[in-house]
Amino acid sequence: MSEPAERARELDCADELAPVRGRFVLDDVVYLDGNSLGALPSNVPGRVEDVVRRQWGELRIRSWEESGWWTAPERIGDRIAPLVGAGAGRIVAGDSTSVNVFKALVAAVRMAGGGRDEIVVDATTFPTDGYIAESAARMTGCTLRPVPPAQVPGVLGERTAAVLLNHVDYRTGRLHDLPSLTAAVHEAGALAVWDLCHSAGALPVGLDEHGVDLAVGCTYKYLNGGPGSPAYLYVRSDLQPRFDSPLPGWNSHAEPFGMRQDYAPAAGALRGRVGTPDILSMLALEAALEVWDGVSIEAVRAKSLALTDFFLECVEQYVPPGRVESLTPAAHAERGSQVALRCDDAGDVMKRLIAEGVVGDFRAPDVLRFGFTPLYVGFADTERAARVLARVLAG
Amino acid sequence: MSEPAERARELDCADELAPVRGRFVLDDVVYLDGNSLGALPSNVPGRVEDVVRRQWGELRIRSWEESGWWTAPERIGDRIAPLVGAGAGRIVAGDSTSVNVFKALVAAVRMAGGGRDEIVVDATTFPTDGYIAESAARMTGCTLRPVPPAQVPGVLGERTAAVLLNHVDYRTGRLHDLPSLTAAVHEAGALAVWDLCHSAGALPVGLDEHGVDLAVGCTYKYLNGGPGSPAYLYVRSDLQPRFDSPLPGWNSHAEPFGMRQDYAPAAGALRGRVGTPDILSMLALEAALEVWDGVSIEAVRAKSLALTDFFLECVEQYVPPGRVESLTPAAHAERGSQVALRCDDAGDVMKRLIAEGVVGDFRAPDVLRFGFTPLYVGFADTERAARVLARVLAG
């Protein structure tokens, strides 16, 4: 056994999260794509079957009340809340991340008020946030200013209404400094909107603690909610009474079954709801969140850093120098839960890796992305991934 | 056997759609709430199980391509299309009805151009359409003008940008004249946006034939897609190149995996997509649409009218005069697929009806709603519903 393989065995033995792996359906593939689609939690199929056969098939319409369908968006929001450092009543689940970015940004501009007419957006963002920010700017009479996150503090000013940032860069895996950037945005009198897609479930976020104004995220990556599962929207508690949604659907009405012609928003996070929630996906997500029972996000973060450290070490040891270049920061304070390796033939390399049982993903034009989900990825998996990668790169 | 019961037996024997009932999971409840949540098609549970266990659980990320997840919104759109008289490539499934109303109305105003700054909305609409229309008006600098559908032609003019109408009134079941109202809107140089929630799957719509500009609808009523299943958006073929979405998410990009910072819309109906589609609900809907194999919407319409005629007759025969008042038009040309009966104690009456195995719903303050889904409701069910109603009203 090689030295890294031996070390992997020891690390796995000492891993307090190792038993959590048993809560997922896995096979002998090394699955390093949980930052794109989380693996299936074992309790989900049975729950979905119950939702379909009994709740829909037998109770039918009665389930809106009796099976708790109607209140699912806020109930699931409360379940997500502790994972991102939010108190109860601040998050609702529903819609896609893109739609929630639109709600959050438009609402932020409206709350900023006072002649503020500029939206600053992370220039390195996952594209959809940029496209939606452009639309939000256009529809609120704002100018859109794309800026790399590090330069954000330097461009803030009296015109800044809202700033849309990613907690972790989808491509490089770089973790941005949420507390200090949020403070800088607040200092300028603007509102901070954070996209947590690549951090929620992988590391502590501390939304309440750091006074984040609004946040959105998906649930199908580190939260394992299933393909296209509902996204969520966080609104800081004291801002909720001023949250003025551009998508005021009947589900956010103070009295949704009153069938009133005039809109009157509900109190609290419910204001972020729009139309009828997508129950099958919503309740699959609710079941998936049970894998977090008894798991602390701090333990997840510690293991995540240990895994990515170990992967980078194995890559350095196994892969010929210069063949790949890590885009992921070495400093822990700047690293999310993925490792991104640049190489010219990344598209081909990823195809061959997948054929050899190591699943990551490719981001055009030249990035190999490996996501480490501490709930089900172990150190032996990690060593094997680096070993196979070296073989593929050599071939 | 009473005369109506005898006649019900004969009508059921002659019903060419009777065998379709076998494609649903039903019990001995008379389910007249398919206009709120359609019953469960028998093939759905198995399909959903495959999506969860095999597509998500085993293939995981590969399913976006191998299981056709990525193309589901347009594939399912094409499956809905013939039911509403649309050609292929004009409909995408996804998001909620409310979100699609927003996309459609904002895009309609943008296409209307030329100083047109008024949105006309059905004053009797299901509330969410009115709330969203108000938001669309606010965000496009338009005035919102709520008008009862019959008065719409009289208020159209040079300022009218778009008109949002319901094909069937959710409360009374009144069917509005889509061809003539659309023609009137076009005559005024404006765009017609139709909400098909209460007509799609119950009667022919003829979107292409009547030149409808944009349309939206849900899929959980007469299309039996399941609780909160994805809605859909129709954009007339020749308008697609000018469709300018207020929610330009990455799924509507011409090259979604190009990760481009600049937005360039896809061609065709795909332009109506936004974020990552909700696969569990989406594929449950796709399975549910298979119950339409070999079923003509004309046959459904004929049976729907026969059922509602028969129900009204039975009510007249069984229920003491004056105890309820029908809000549903007697004329076939003005009737959807539901019967709405007004009575002061409607809330209580519906509770007792449900307890006696007849499920309709209550719409505040005083309406009993009975939806007739011709795919699984028969004439004996209908006679029984009227009989139980009479007993409850007498008690």
Q: Mind giving me the DSSP string for A328-377? A: S-SSGGGB-SEEEEE-TTHHHHHHHHHHTTEE-EEETTTEEEEE--TTT-
Active-site annotation holds for A220: yes
Active-site annotation holds for A213: no
Chain segment B320-376, per-residue pLDDT in tens: 999 999 999 999 999 999 999 999 999 999 999 999 999 999 998 999 999 999 999
Tell me the CA distances in angstroms from B245 to B99, B233, B261, B271, one per residue in order. Answer: 11, 12, 17, 7
Alpha-carbon gap, residue B369 to B173, rounded angstroms? 9
Residue B2 in contact with partner chain A when CB distance is under 8 A? no
What domains, with CATH codes, occur in chain A?
Answer: 3-17+295-394 (3.90.1150.10), 47-292 (3.40.640.10)
Residue of A nearest to B122 (CA): A261
Instruction: Tell me whether residue B127 is annotated as binding.
Output: yes
How close does chain A come to B31, measured CA to CA in Å?
9
Residues 346-375 of A with CB under 8 A from B: 354, 359, 361, 363-364
Q: Among A135, A246, A249, whose Cβ lies nearest the Cβ of B128?
A: A249
DSSP B90: S
pLDDT > 90 fraction of chain B, expressed in percent and rounded: 96
Alpha-carbon gap, residue B331 to B313, rounded angstroms? 14
Across the interface, whether the CB atoms of B230 and A280 are under 8 A apart is answered no
How many of the other CB atoms lie within 10 Å of CB of B294?
8
Binding site as annotated, residues of A for pyridoxal 5'-phosphate: 97-98, 126-129, 195, 198, 220, 250, 276
Residues 138-157 of A with CB under 8 A from B: 139-140, 146
Across the interface, whether the CB atoms of A102 and B247 are under 8 A apart is answered yes
B-chain residues near A260 (CB < 8 A): 127
Report yes or no: B247 and B136 within 8 Å, Cβ to Cβ.
no
Q: What is the pLDDT of residue A99?
A: 98
B-chain residues near A102 (CB < 8 A): 246-247
Instruction: Show the tokens assigned to B268.
Output: 């065709």
In this model, does residue B1 exceed pLDDT 90? no
A-B C-beta contacts closer than 8 Å: 254
Q: Low-confidence residues of chain A, pLDDT below 70?
A: 1
A-chain residues near B246 (CB < 8 A): 102, 135, 139
Among B221, B235, B197, B215, residue whose Cα is nearest residue B88:
B235
Alpha-carbon gap, residue B327 to A54, rounded angstroms? 34
**Which amino acid does the sequence have at A8?**
A
In this model, does residue B208 exceed pLDDT 80? yes
Instruction: Show the tokens assigned to B106.
Output: 């904002």
Alpha-carbon gap, residue A79 to A99, rounded angstroms? 21
Alpha-carbon gap, residue B199 to B202, rounded angstroms? 5
Tell the residue number behind the tokens 């389930």, with chain if given. Answer: A63
Alpha-carbon gap, residue A100 to A196, rounded angstroms? 12
- Tell which of A60, A100, A353 to mutate to test the B interface (max B CBs under 10 Å): A60
DSSP A19: G
B358-359 vs B338-342, strand pairing mode: unpaired
Secondary element (H or E) of residue B121: strand B118-122
Q: Among B56, B227, B229, whose Cβ lies nearest the Cβ of A69?
A: B227
Q: Residue B114 — very low, low, confident or very high, per pLDDT cuts 50/70/90? A: confident
Among A159, A227, A304, residue whose Cα is nearest residue B57:
A227
Q: What is the pLDDT of residue B246?
A: 98
Instruction: Show the tokens assigned to B304.
Output: 């729907």
Which residues lie closer than 8 Å to A107 by C-beta, 6 or more apart? A214, A235, A243, A244, A245, A246
Instruction: Tell me whether residue B195 is annotated as binding.
Output: yes
| Helix A72-80 × helix A279-288 angle, to 10° | 30
Q: Residue B259 — very low, low, confident or very high, per pLDDT cuts 50/70/90? A: confident
Tell the residue number behind the tokens 């002649």, with chain if given. Answer: A115
Alpha-carbon gap, residue B393 to B62, rounded angstroms? 57
B-chain residues near A109 (CB < 8 A): none
ipTM over 0.95: yes
Secondary element (H or E) of residue B74: helix B72-80
- Tell which of B98, B369, B373 to mutate to test the A interface (max A CBs under 10 Å): B98
**Average pLDDT in chain B:** 97
Residue of B nearest to A228 (CA): B278
Burial A31-67 (b: 16+ CB within 10 A, else e): bbbbbbbbbbbeebbebbbebbbebbbeebbebbeeb
Residue A89, CB half-sphere, CA atoms under 13 Å: how many? 8
| Average pLDDT estimate for B298-321 | 97
Q: What is the pLDDT of residue A395?
A: 81
Chain segment B17-60, per-residue pLDDT in tens: 999 999 999 999 999 999 999 999 999 999 999 999 999 999 99
Alpha-carbon gap, residue A291 to A201, rounded angstroms? 11
B-chain residues near A55 (CB < 8 A): 227
A79, A271, A273, A369: the catalytic one is: A369
Tell the residue number behind the tokens 């009296």, with chain if given. Answer: A158
What is the arrangement of strands in the sheet containing A367-371, beginning at the earlier edge strand? Answer: A325-326, A338-342, A367-371, A361-363
Alpha-carbon gap, residue A339 to A204, rounded angstroms? 18
Tell the residue number behind the tokens 């929610």, with chain if given. Answer: B247
Alpha-carbon gap, residue A75 to A70, rounded angstroms? 10
Q: What is the pLDDT of residue A259?
A: 86
Alpha-carbon gap, residue B350 to B367, rounded angstroms? 9
Alpha-carbon gap, residue A73 to A232, rounded angstroms? 9
- Tell which of B35, B58, B61 to mutate to test the A interface (max A CBs under 10 Å): B61
Active-site annotation holds for B271: no
Active-site annotation holds for A351: no
Q: Among B37, B60, B281, whose Cβ lies nearest the Cβ of A60?
A: B37
| Average pLDDT estimate for B179-184 | 98
Active-site annotation holds for B169: no
Among B110, B262, B139, residue whose Cα is nearest residue A109:
B139
Instruction: Show the tokens assigned to B110.
Output: 């943008």
Instruction: Using CA atoms of B71, B77, B80, B82 in order, give the dihedral in degrees to the nearest 10.
Output: -110
Largest CA distance in chain B: 72
Alpha-carbon gap, residue B367 to B362, rounded angstroms? 6
How close does chain A come to B192, measured CA to CA in Å?
21
